[in-house]
Amino acid sequence: MKFGHEYEKVLASEGFPKQWLVSAIDYKFLKKCIKKIHKELQELGLDAQTIQKLSDPWDKSRNGAAKSAAERHDFYSAQPPHLDAIPEEFTPQLRVLVDRRTYTPLDATLAPETRQNLQKLAQHEVITAEHQAHWQQHARDEAPEQSQDPELHQEPTLSEPIDPKNVTWLQIPLASAKYFFDLLGPKLQELEQLREAETLKLEEEILELGARVEDVVEPVREGFEAKRRVSYRDLYFWREMFRLYLENPVFYSHHEAKPGALTFAEAKTRLQAYDQQLRQTGLLGKMKTPAARIAAKQFLDLNVSILKIIGFQEMNAEAMRKILKKFDKRTHLEGQHFLADLRTKYPALLPPTATTTGAAPATTVNTKPCCTIGFANTIAHDMYSEITSKILGIVPQLDDWSCPVCLEMAWRPVSLGCCRALYCIRCIIRLQDDETKRCPACNAETVLKADARNLNFEAMDFLEKYFPLETKKRQKENETASLAREYGEEFVKPGCAVM
Amino acid sequence: MAAPLPKRIIKETERLQSEPVPGISAEPHEENARYFDVKVDGPSGSCYEGGEFQLELFLPDDYPMCPPRIRFLTKIYHPNIDRLGRICLDVLKNNWSPALQIRTILLSIQALLGAPNPEDPLNEAVAKQWKENQPEAIKTAREWTTLYAQKK
């Protein structure tokens, strides 16, 4: 009850678009559906406890632990045959093993009225199954669900006292349960479609914004200055803005302790914190051109819309998890088989983390379905990589151009030719003074061979263009270091002005 | 320290604190930012599991051109660590590269705990025991871990 309430409240209050709400999982209705199934089963005399009894204690009392998990369901099965092969034809059915002549279920623990009901049902069934000649050979390698005839099947069992010739599977069709799954299946499809559509839309938005940002941060070049009213300082504001964003990614954590997609609530607080940070530093206000301001606002809006879709999908995944759990609890009909089927259909929806039930197909009902955060997971991941590659990548960050030795911007960048590392010329000179032979990054013996030809002019131009302030600063530092190297530390001590 | 701290050390320290490596912590001293108090958790699955080992780490003036000086303060039974806590690890000696950092070195040390190498010993007695009677050596290492390396 509590969750249903909360779910509706969130759906109504978070301001989701109308067409999303149509695709949302109808939690209340599904709950009613479960009630119906429950009632239907009760009319048959099969309440949850009976079903559980049917599936569980029978074998334990008779054969002890000798029987394998797969054989446990010899007398009872809620599972339709060949789920993976024909997922569309999934109809929940209850199968009870009954005596062929009397149609009495082979379970001694059933209540008398339940037996009667089942007998009645069984008499309506058309019995078409033929005896399998070599049933005993099949017995070992054929699990109950692997029958060729899904309607009526003669199940060989290993237990001695029961004569297999007198035993047959009785199918009890469950109309309401079918209805339940019929409702749930298409809903998931809708959600998947919604995810695809929204992802596409957001990707387009990201591309558009990328173009805008590119236009705004393009550093001043000769001749352009008059025409384009873009100050190179805007570049620095954007860089700072993106640096903050990268430092604490809103949707995806690269933190070594806890990597992976973040939940809606976490993402929300992070986005709020980011917004706060931008306000406090006054970065938005400092932007020079109106175009830059518009783009910045767009960037924030984009994040908000991604957050929204993540929240929506997460709510739905939670609703789905809860409803399936409820389904299991009320009916003991083992909804996981349905879930397993869904998992193969929508791998994105249910990342196969905790319960990979491949080893034990007949596990009891308390196996929890695992849909951690559903579609939200993939959205967070996809959008984060889109944003980083298409938008943040436009503004180069200093960290990507720092020398691995001094961790500062590689001024007069040197490529040693052995690997892709860029060093400052100053650091390479120091390494050569120390007679270090090997490249710090890849250990190739290239350091001592380096000379002026190793200067990477392409990178130098790039850095001068995108990091004009840092370049100037590094240039000064380099001059000081060069003097210190030639004339000794004392020469450049502060207070000693060299004109 | 009269000389200003190199930018590299400042940056490394910042990053160690903002994005700590799981199972490893390094805190610089207030009065000397080149001196760090280090705590390394014994890797899970090793005979040092559950222990928390204290180390001291010092960045010499030449850092990063020369490796940091580092030593175990907690007593440990390990073939590559001697009684004074000195560590025999190639990246701390000949194989040092200025591109390595404090965090990478500490990770190497944690890995060394997970994979003792008695073929290149620093502590002969321990290495001998390790080669001749490994189960016994591992048992002793476990005992020492519970004795000396308990979390405070």
Residue A76: predicted pLDDT: 43
Cβ separation B99–A421 shorter than 8 A: yes
Contact of A490 with chain B, judged by CB distance below 8 Å, is answered with no
Q: How confident is the model at residue A84 (pLDDT cuts 50, 70, 90)?
A: very low
Distances from the Cα of A290 to the Cα of A206, A234, A293, angstroms: 19, 11, 5
Q: How confident is the model at residue A434 (pLDDT cuts 50, 70, 90)?
A: confident
Cα–Cα distance measured from residue B102 to residue A372, given in angstroms and rounded to the nearest whole number: 36
- CATH code: domain of residue B110: 3.10.110.10
Cα–Cα distance measured from residue B127 to residue B121, given in angstroms and rounded to the nearest whole number: 6
Q: What tens digit of pLDDT does each residue of A244-265 get?
A: 888 777 777 766 556 667 777 7
Q: What tens digit of pLDDT does each residue of A290-332 get?
A: 777 888 888 888 888 888 888 887 787 777 777 777 777 776 6
Chain A hits for B23, CB-CB cut-off 8 Å, are none
Asked if residue B72 belongs to a domain, the reply is yes
Which chain B residue lies closest to A444 (C-alpha atoms)?
B97
Query: Among all residues of B, which ones are annotated catalytic?
Result: 88
Name the residue facing B98 among A255, A408, A440 (closest C-beta).
Answer: A440
Name the residue facing B8 among A255, A407, A443 (closest C-beta).
Answer: A407
Inform me whether the pLDDT recorded for A151 exceeds 50. no
Q: What tens digit of pLDDT does each residue of A34-48 get?
A: 777 777 777 766 655
Residue A190: predicted pLDDT: 80
Asked if residue B68 belongs to a domain, the reply is yes
Q: Across all residues in chain A, what is the average pLDDT?
A: 67
Name the residue facing A256 among B6, B7, B22 (closest C-beta).
Answer: B22
Name the residue facing B99 among A256, A408, A440 (closest C-beta).
Answer: A440
Asked if residue B1 belongs to a domain, the reply is no
3 state SS of A329: helix
* Min Cα–Cα distance to chain A from B138, Å: 29
Q: Are A158 and A139 within 8 A, CB to CB?
A: yes
Inform me whether the pLDDT recorded for A218 exceeds 60. yes
Extract the tokens encoding A221.
């070049």
Contact of B7 with chain A, judged by CB distance below 8 Å, is answered with yes
Extract the tokens encoding A407.
């961790």
Kindly state the average pLDDT of the residues B107-120. 91
Q: Amino acid identity, residue A17? A: P
Which chain B residue lies closest to A433 (C-alpha atoms)?
B65
Name the residue facing B21 among A256, A430, A436 (closest C-beta).
Answer: A256
Sequence-ordered list of residues with C-beta below 8 angstroms from that of A466, at least 6 positions apart, any chain: A219, A235, A395, A396
For chain A, positions 430-489, list CB contacts with chain B under 8 A. 430-431, 434, 436, 438, 440-441, 443
Q: B73: domain range?
A: 7-148
Specify the number of domains making up chain B.
1
* Min Cα–Cα distance to chain B from A432, Å: 11
Asked if residue B53 belongs to a domain, the reply is yes
Q: What tens digit of pLDDT does each residue of B18-56 get?
A: 888 888 999 999 889 899 999 999 998 899 999 999 999
Asked if residue B128 belongs to a domain, the reply is yes
Name the residue facing B65 among A404, A421, A434 (closest C-beta).
Answer: A434
Cβ separation B8–A441 shorter than 8 A: no
Asked if residue B109 belongs to a domain, the reply is yes
Q: What tens digit of pLDDT does each residue of A364-412 get?
A: 233 333 334 456 667 777 777 788 777 787 788 888 888 888 888 888 8
Is this prediction's ipTM beyond 0.90? no
Residue A59: predicted pLDDT: 37
Cα–Cα distance measured from residue A424 to residue B6, given in angstroms and rounded to the nearest whole number: 15
Inform me whether the pLDDT recorded for A140 exceeds 70. no
Cβ separation B8–A406 shorter than 8 A: yes
Chain B hits for A257, CB-CB cut-off 8 Å, are 20, 22
Which chain B residue lies closest to A403 (C-alpha atoms)?
B99
Chain A hits for B21, CB-CB cut-off 8 Å, are 256
Q: Which of A1-10, A147-156, A290-299 has the highest mean pLDDT?
A: A290-299
Cα–Cα distance measured from residue A497 to residue B91, given in angstroms and rounded to the nearest whole number: 41
Kindly state the average pLDDT of the residues B66-70. 93
- Residue, of A24 and B128, whose pLDDT is higher: B128
Sequence-ordered list of residues with C-beta below 8 angstroms from that of A349, at least 6 positions apart, any chain: A188, A191, A192, A317, A342, A343, A371, A374, A375
Cβ-count burial A219-228 (b if 16+ within 10 Å, e if not): ebeeeeeeee
Q: Amino acid identity, residue A314? A: E
Extract the tokens encoding A375.
């579609």
For chain A, positions 407-436, list CB contacts with chain B under 8 A. 407-408, 421, 427, 430-431, 434, 436
Asked if residue B2 belongs to a domain, the reply is no
Chain B hits for A405, CB-CB cut-off 8 Å, are 8, 64, 98-99
Contact of B20 with chain A, judged by CB distance below 8 Å, is answered with yes
Q: State the count of interchain CB pairs (< 8 A) between A and B.
A: 40
For chain A, positions 219-278, list CB contacts with chain B under 8 A. 247, 255-257
Beta strands B24-28; B35-41: pairing state: antiparallel
Closest listed residue to residue A73, CA positions, set A92, A88, A51 = A51
Domains in chain A: ranges and CATH: 1-92+174-394 (no CATH), 398-469 (3.30.40.10)
Cβ separation B99–A441 shorter than 8 A: yes
Would residue B3 be called left, alpha or beta, if left means φ above 0 and alpha means ψ between -120 and 50 degrees? Answer: beta
